[in-house]
Chain A
Amino acid sequence: MKHVAGRVRPVALAGERLLPVLPALRPLLPEGGLRRGSVMAVGGSTSLALALVAAASAAGSWCAAVGVGRPPVGPRAAAELGVVLERFPLVAAAPGATRGGWAWAVAALLDAVDVVVAWLPPRLRPADARRLAARGRERGSVLVVVGAERWPEVVDVRLALVASSWEGVGDGHGRLLARRVDVVATGRGAAARQRRAALWLPAAGGGVAPAQAFPVKSTWARTAE
């Protein structure tokens, strides 16, 4: 009987363990997607966190944002990056470590949705962080922590914005059009090797697009040839 049970148990396919990410972000992640059960940290940019969950959300996954008080997400920006707002509730947790507090809310969401984007409270006990990471691992959901530097535990992948420059706005004229950023990914295990990507976040016209790693002025490039 046990033998048969072992044979009919569904096999977890690699594709089911990974949630998709936008093509431009794939080079930053060792497996090219969000691995279920992992903890990711995003530093320095809200839109990077939103871009990270956009493809999973568009593919039908439920995502949620949670913080102490309402997470400061602009729904319109999230929608422009590709997040489906109907499946992206914003949860305002109560302050404190009691029932209804931040850790409780995150744990409840990890049980229920595929990706939880969490804005960290001012103080977080390492024990709570460990417990949440274990909860996510057990339930197969991804925890994306915003404000990476205050997460007291090791994370699987840490994405950080190291440089950013806005295009389109001048000295009293124009308007913000696009932002060119450099994102560095570090982590442990397969992600230990540092990866770097230059991106348009947001790209002109919305979404995320890869940018050239080293900006080459087109005129210069032509003369060099």
Chain B
Amino acid sequence: MSPVRTLVVHCPEWPVVATGLSLARPVAVVASGRVVACSVPARDEGVEAGLRRRQAEARCPSLVVVEHDPARDVRAFEPVVAAVESFAPRVEVTRPGTCSLATRGPSRYFGGDEALAARVAEQVSTVTAGACRVGVADGPFAAEQAAHAGTIVPPGGSAAFLASLPVSVLEPAVDTLADGSALVDLWERLGIRTLGDLAVLPAAAVLGRFGPAGAVAHRLARGLDDRPLWARTPPPDLATAAELDPPVESVETAAFVAKTLADGLFARLAEQGLAATSVGIEAETEHGESLARLWRLPAGLDAAALAQRVRWQLEGWLLASGGDRPTAGLTLLRLAPDEVRPDHGRQLGFWGGEGAGAERAARALARLQGMLGHEAVVTGVVAGGRGPAEEARLVPWGDEPSVDGAGRPERRRLLHSTGGEIPPWPGHLPPPAPAIVHSEPRPAAVVDTAGTPVGVTGRAGATGAPARLSIDGGPWADVAAWAGPWPCDERWWDARNHRRRARWQVVTTTGAAHLLAVEGGRWSVEATYD
């Protein structure tokens, strides 16, 4: 059985197109401080994916930088999927910017792959301002590569077409199973530079040397499907659905339901020893409209990742503009696995490990989050920054630390746990860190022995020695020791976000130590060493 002949529509640099900005200007979309996509004028100036934001701005000073928002990408991609869907049902969204379609039926109807591809390209270009490339080949992976090249590979020619491509094109495909970039790097050092080099190796040797990720890559390189041949339509009882009564209009509520549905779906699949390769997200509204979209799941994805995709899709539907938005609240949400494969699973530790405890905690925290709101349950993530509030960011439970919108420190994931590794951040507070960080700085007053308020001179010196401190208009406490002022001039290049303040450490005679900041003559307690 050869892989399914597939047509892939690929919109290059989709995150840039999704911003809605003019593509004639240099635009870059950044996530976690690195460029993920840029427009053609920006590329001409030397901007490329993977660059740090600052490097990109240095290469192209007129660059417009936009923060990456996966939900926005999905929202903007929705009309494109609808346009492709006008040719045939069962369009699979691989990721925002790329979707695929099995061509067997439509090709016959429209008179061949070439005619179909031309029609699809024409249809898509009417709904999006960006470029669009269409490719046809056997199997989704080969078809995606064909779409990048904008060609149509004849039936049975996938392996020959792929042979000349560099191994780096495999990186996204194996990334969920292993560290894709490390694997690609290893192949290159071993002299395996093209997919053809990889394809000629014996399959068993590749599996033995490079593990499951290598085996998947080998299948792909040979022009086969990444999912094994026994992918089959699952029995209908695997779908999970929730009736929403009263009807739900907010994304937040629907996404919460989706989370439990995703967990339920994965639990059911796990019982049967299966994993889904693509999942249909279906919704019905009070007025009987039905919305459905297929999403392709790379191997190794978990329930949380599915829930996030459902959330994006719901945002795409519920926050759509104008006539595309459903006219009433959602009454039914359904997740139906479209294709499943046997799941080889994960080898757990022999002595149990922390799995059970983590699962129990995760369930309770999700429940608390449902009751108290998404933002009410957070975990701290140590990050770079100067003030106590920036040094540790609070990320809502269940969110990816790097997709919290603030998006600044790129090494956050590595710094997640213990305080052992402190990022090199010039001007950050020296340890020990304050145990209490006030969410809102508390107003304070500091005077010297004569009773005049203490300030900071233009040369960052103290106008007097702090002698007494009052917090929130409370009683005066005598200052036993103090240090500072430490000036902190942040974002001086940015008129709106420019902040100029000085920090002090003050210990009172009662033994309490505070981190104070003075900004524009006003004192506040930022944190307390308690």
Q: Which residues of A contact B (CB under 8 A)?
A: 45-47, 50, 58, 60-62, 64, 69-70, 72-82, 84-94, 99-100, 104-105, 108-109, 111-114, 163-166, 169-179, 202, 205-206
Contact = CB atoms under 8 A, between A and B. Distances in A.
A85 B416 contact: yes
B439 interface: yes
Nearest to B389: A74
Nearest to A112: B364
B365 interface: yes
A163 B512 CA distance: 10
Given A74-B436, A90-B378, A92-B372, A112 B392 contact: no
SS class, residues of chain A in contact with chain B: mixed
Interface in B110-141: none
A176 B433 CA distance: 10
Given A61-B357, A105-B368, A170-B483, A79 B418 contact: yes
A75 B372 contact: no
A100 B507 CA distance: 38
Given A72-B437, A169-B483, A176-B513, A91 B357 contact: no
Most B CB contacts (10 A, CB to CB) among A77, A175, A202 go to A77
B371 to A, nearest CB: 5
Nearest to A177: B432
B432 A202 contact: yes
Interface in B417-452: 417-419, 430-439
Give the secondary structure class of B's interface. Answer: mixed
Given A72-B436, A177-B432, 11 more contacts: A58-B418, A60-B354, A70-B376, A70-B394, A75-B381, A80-B419, A90-B380, A92-B377, A170-B483, A174-B483, A176-B507
A89 B432 contact: no
A62 B377 contact: no
A79 B391 CA distance: 12
Given A90-B377, A112-B364, A99 B432 contact: no
Contact of A74 (B357, B434, B483, B511): B434
Nearest to B513: A166
Given A62-B358, A99-B371, A169-B505, A84 B482 contact: no
B3 interface: no
Interface in B485-530: 505, 507, 511, 513, 527, 529-530
Contacts of A114: 357
A124 B218 CA distance: 63
A112 B360 contact: yes
Contacts, number: 182
Contacts of A176: 432, 483, 505, 507, 513, 529
B149 to A, nearest CB: 42
Given A172-B483, A175-B430, A206-B432, A70 B391 contact: no
A198 to B, nearest CB: 14
Interface string B355-379: 0011011011101100110011111
B388 interface: yes
Interface of B: 354, 357-358, 360-361, 363-365, 367-368, 371-372, 375-382, 388, 391-392, 394, 397, 416-419, 430-439, 462, 465, 481-484, 505, 507, 511, 513, 527, 529-530
Nearest to A66: B368
A90 B379 contact: yes
B504 to A, nearest CB: 10
19 contacts: A46-B436, A64-B361, A64-B365, A72-B437, A73-B435, A74-B436, A77-B433, A89-B379, A90-B394, A92-B376, A92-B378, A93-B376, A100-B371, A108-B364, A112-B364, A169-B513, A173-B483, A177-B432, A205-B431
A26 B465 CA distance: 41
Residue in A79, A84, A87, A175 whose Cβ sees the most chain B Cβ within 10 Å? A79
Residue with the greatest number of chain A CB neighbours at <10 A, chosen from B363, B377, B397:
B377
B511 A163 contact: yes
Given A62-B358, A172-B462, A88 B380 contact: yes
A78 B527 CA distance: 14
Nearest to A72: B436
Contacts of B481: 166, 169-171, 174
Contacts of B392: 74-76, 79
A89 B398 CA distance: 11
A74 B419 contact: no
B442 to A, nearest CB: 11
Contact of A77 (B394, B435, B511): B435
Contacts of A100: 371-372
Q: Which 7 residue pairs across A and B have the least CB separation, nearest first?
A: A75-B380, A112-B364, A79-B419, A75-B392, A76-B433, A80-B419, A74-B437
Contacts of B364: 108-109, 111-113
Given A73-B437, A176-B513, A79 B432 contact: no
Contacts of B513: 166, 169, 176, 179
A60 B357 contact: yes
B433 A74 contact: yes
Nearest to A74: B437
Contacts of B439: 69-70, 72
Given A72-B439, A112-B365, A164 B511 contact: yes
B402 to A, nearest CB: 14
Which among B382, B392, B436, B481 has the greatest number of chain A C-beta atoms within 10 A? Answer: B481
Contacts of B365: 64, 89, 91, 112
A6 to B, nearest CB: 24
Nearest to B385: A76
Contacts of B371: 99-100, 104
A176 B465 CA distance: 17
A85 B357 contact: no
Nearest to B437: A74
A85 B432 contact: no
B196 to A, nearest CB: 43
B380 A166 contact: no
A86 B394 contact: no
Nearest to A79: B419
A178 B381 contact: no
A105 B372 contact: yes
Contacts of A47: 435, 529-530
Nearest to B418: A79
Contact of A112 (B363, B376, B381): B363
Nearest to B434: A74
Which of B365, B380, B465, B484 counts the most A-chain CB atoms under 10 A from its CB? B380
